[in-house]
Amino acid sequence: MKKINLERDAGDFASPYKVALVACHDEVDDVHISLLSSLMNRGEDEMTLGEFIKGQSKSLFHEKPQSAFLIMSLSQEFWTGTMDF
């Protein structure tokens, strides 16, 4: 697993063929994990995600913005990191 480097990984992140696990905490500090296919980079220090269905993740991100992610590309490369929503 590796940290994201935009110069090296830009092509992989432009591809729609990847999935991400995003973990955050709920109101009682239990871990909530979401499977997303729309996580994309947006510059040096920003990530975006689409809202195609309505679930708990977005409301939990607003309550407790610290979260972590794992992204896997079609070629089975992994990236990990943390983010504040």
The reply to whether 13 falls in a domain is yes
Give the pTM: 0.73
Q: What is the pLDDT of residue 11?
A: 73
Q: What is the dihedral of CA 72, 68, 80, 19, to 10 degrees?
A: 10
Strands 40-41 and 66-73: unpaired
Domain that holds residue 31: 6-17+24-84
Tens digit of pLDDT for each residue in 14-30?
777 888 888 988 888 89
Instruction: Give the pLDDT mean for 72-85.
Output: 83
The reply to whether 1 falls in a domain is no
Task: Provide Rg for the chain, Cα atoms.
Answer: 13
Tens digit of pLDDT for each residue in 48-70?
776 665 667 777 877 888 888 88
Q: Does the structure show a pLDDT above 80 at 73?
A: yes
Q: What is the pLDDT of residue 20?
A: 86
Number of domains in the chain: 1
Q: What is the pLDDT of residue 12?
A: 73
